[in-house]
Chains A and B, each alone.
Chain A
Amino acid sequence: MLNLLKKDYMLLKRNLWIMILYSFMIFFVFSRTDMKAQMIYVMGITMISYLLVMYSTAYDNMNKSDTLLNSLPLKRRDIVAERYISLFVFIALSSMLMALSGLVMRLTGFFPDMRPISLFDFAIATWSICLVVFIYLPVYFKVGYLKAKLVNFAIFFAVFMIPTIIGKLFIKGEAPLWIRNLNSATGLQITLFMAVFISIAGMTSYFFSLRFYKKREF
């Protein structure tokens, strides 16, 4: 399975520069909005992770690699599991990128008042991207990248809308109680909430992905 991650890294390597660029660009794009302080890190992590997931699945589609991968002495469940594991690698990577670019923005004086990334940013971003990818992957494993693109369209908007809506609700003070509780929760509580949510949603999504992919024909 690690080897599949290595394969994704090899394929995505050249896109990493674009991701670094995005992580800086996002500060300028949202610099004039009230979103900057509240949700900039969440938006950045969500967007970059989402793009990495899309790129990696697109590469496999472009090269018709399902035929290759399924001809290898490799179990279908490993191919499916790798996609889920890579999501968390992408989240970690994009969080580091955003933390770094936020720091650079503050130190270079472009945005001297930029706050550092927080656990809350990481939690909301992880929650958002997991929600989106956990819906996308079963569709991708059932019908393949091309057909799943239609679903992507809806997902694409959701990716940007979910953090935005949550952020706006915060600003207006209308966020649901559980989200507000999350904001005032301790690190341990946030971690626990994230772990429970991601575990249940992730396992359900993985179950469907595996079920669909085992039946796929190439």
Chain B
Amino acid sequence: MDNIIEVKNLTKDYEGFKLDDLSFSLKKGYIMGFIGPNGAGKSTTIKLIMNLVKKDSGSIHLFGKDYQKHEKAVKERIGFIYDQNHFYDDLQMEKMKSVLSVYYPTWDDGLFYSYMKRFGLNPEKKIKELSRGMQTKFSLALALSHEPELIIMDEPTSGLDPIFRSEILDILSEVIEDGKRSVFFSSHITQDLERSADYVTFINDGKLVFSKEKHSALEDYAVIKGPNDLFDPMEKYEGLVGFRRDKYGFSALFKRNEAIRLFDGERTVMENPNIDDIMLYTVRGNSNA
């Protein structure tokens, strides 16, 4: 059992949106970034994995087990962080902890208080008194204190300042150091992924664009820049993902092997894309300024 998450042909149909035939997997000991523009289906996928919404078809296996048949057992091994506060506002963090901790056989109070200390959180404080960043820190302390084998996070860094974002990413890297845990986190802040993810799963409009090792994803593509006379926007180039064009020239994202075949380097520049480029060209497609 190497795959901690295994999603196959997952489909969920809403009115006006369809998560369509999604498949990907995450191996033990790695961080997977789950990216896509707003409304791509990231939160829906996470809700499906957590069995908060029901799938129409396909399968989800967590730790090699069917997530619905073994729901309680698999959830004991998952730590979760959501983009919104779902804790009881009127409770102190200490009380909230005592409500949640009993559900986890592996809960470690010592670990919880050490995280609280590290994050500078006072357990006596009420949840409604916490800032967005402090709430995320508290969620993280709760999520890590039962030593989960899988940490699922939905936009954990959105709305946070760069210092705290960086702190979270450091903690995540620390958490997977022993190779026993995996992290699956959705984000539209691609810099966070560049920094911490080993694998990237990219979805757009409910469909999988790719799910692969981050470096391999980056190596698969190339950005070509050059004068407009070398690029015909009407032509259907093999391997073209998307382009931008203005009066000064064009820039286009190609599959790397096609880029090499089509452009010999004369009067064009080939650059390595980052995740942002891949997302941007894929989502926007073709555009003329």
Contacts of B30 in A (CB 8 A): none
A64 with B89, Cβ < 8 A, contacts A3-B99, A3-B102 known: no
Q: Is the CB of A72 within 8 A of B88?
A: no
CA distance A71 to B102 in the complex (A): 14
Minimum C-beta distance from A25 to chain B (A) = 24
Interface residues of A in 49-85 (CB under 8 A from B): 59, 62-65, 67-68, 70-75
Interface residues of A in 1-41 (CB under 8 A from B): 3, 6-7, 10-11, 14
Q: Is the CB of A10 within 8 A of B91?
A: yes
Q: Is the CB of A11 within 8 A of B91?
A: yes
Tell whether B267 is near chain A: CB-to-CB under 8 Å: no
Q: Is the CB of A64 within 8 A of B84?
A: yes
Contacts of B102 in A (CB 8 A): 3
Tell whether B207 is near chain A: CB-to-CB under 8 Å: no
Interface residues of B in 37-85 (CB under 8 A from A): 47, 50-54, 71-73, 75-76, 80, 82, 84-85
A217 — nearest CB in chain B belongs to which residue?
Answer: B53
Dominant SS at the B interface? Answer: loop
Contacts of B231 in A (CB 8 A): none
Tell whether B262 is near chain A: CB-to-CB under 8 Å: no
A73 with B76, Cβ < 8 A, contacts A7-B99, A10-B91, A11-B91 known: yes
Tell whether A178 is near chain B: CB-to-CB under 8 Å: no
Minimum C-beta distance from B192 to chain A (A) = 22
A215 with B90, Cβ < 8 A, contacts A71-B80, A73-B73 known: no
Tell whether B100 is near chain A: CB-to-CB under 8 Å: yes
Tell whether B95 is near chain A: CB-to-CB under 8 Å: yes
A62 with B89, Cβ < 8 A, contacts A67-B52, A74-B103 known: yes
Contacts of A63 in B (CB 8 A): 85-89
Contacts of B113 in A (CB 8 A): none
Q: Is the CB of A217 within 8 A of B52?
A: yes
Contact-residue bracket for chain B: 20 to 34
Interface residues of B in 86-138 (CB under 8 A from A): 86-91, 95, 98-100, 102-104
Q: Is the CB of B82 within 8 A of A67?
A: yes
Q: Is the CB of A65 within 8 A of B84?
A: no
Please encode chain A, from 99 to 136, with 1 for each CB lying within 8 Å of some chain B CB and 0 for all others. Answer: 00000000000000000000000000000000000000
CA distance A71 to B152 in the complex (A): 11
A72 with B103, Cβ < 8 A, contacts A217-B52, A218-B53 known: yes
Contacts of A59 in B (CB 8 A): 88, 90
Partner of A73, one of B98, B99, B104: B104
Contacts of B91 in A (CB 8 A): 10-11
Q: Is the CB of B88 within 8 A of A11?
A: yes
Minimum C-beta distance from B33 to chain A (A) = 21
CA distance A7 to B53 in the complex (A): 24
Contacts of B80 in A (CB 8 A): 71
Minimum C-beta distance from A82 to chain B (A) = 12
Contacts of A6 in B (CB 8 A): 98-99
Q: Is the CB of B50 within 8 A of A71?
A: yes
Minimum C-beta distance from B17 to chain A (A) = 14
CA distance A59 to B96 in the complex (A): 14
Q: Is the CB of A10 within 8 A of B99?
A: yes
CA distance A142 to B2 in the complex (A): 39
CA distance A67 to B90 in the complex (A): 17
Partner of A70, one of B50, B89, B90: B50
Pick 16 A–B contacts, CB within 8 A, sort by A: A10-B95, A59-B88, A63-B85, A63-B89, A65-B87, A68-B86, A70-B51, A71-B52, A72-B100, A73-B73, A73-B104, A75-B72, A215-B54, A217-B54, A218-B47, A218-B52
Please give me the 4 A-B residue pairs with the lowest Cβ-Cβ distance, nearest first. Answer: A68-B86, A73-B75, A217-B53, A73-B76
Q: A10-B99, A65-B86 are in contact. List 18 more A-B contacts (CB 8 A).
A: A3-B103, A7-B99, A10-B91, A11-B88, A11-B91, A14-B90, A59-B88, A71-B52, A72-B75, A72-B103, A73-B72, A73-B103, A75-B71, A75-B72, A215-B54, A217-B52, A217-B53, A218-B47
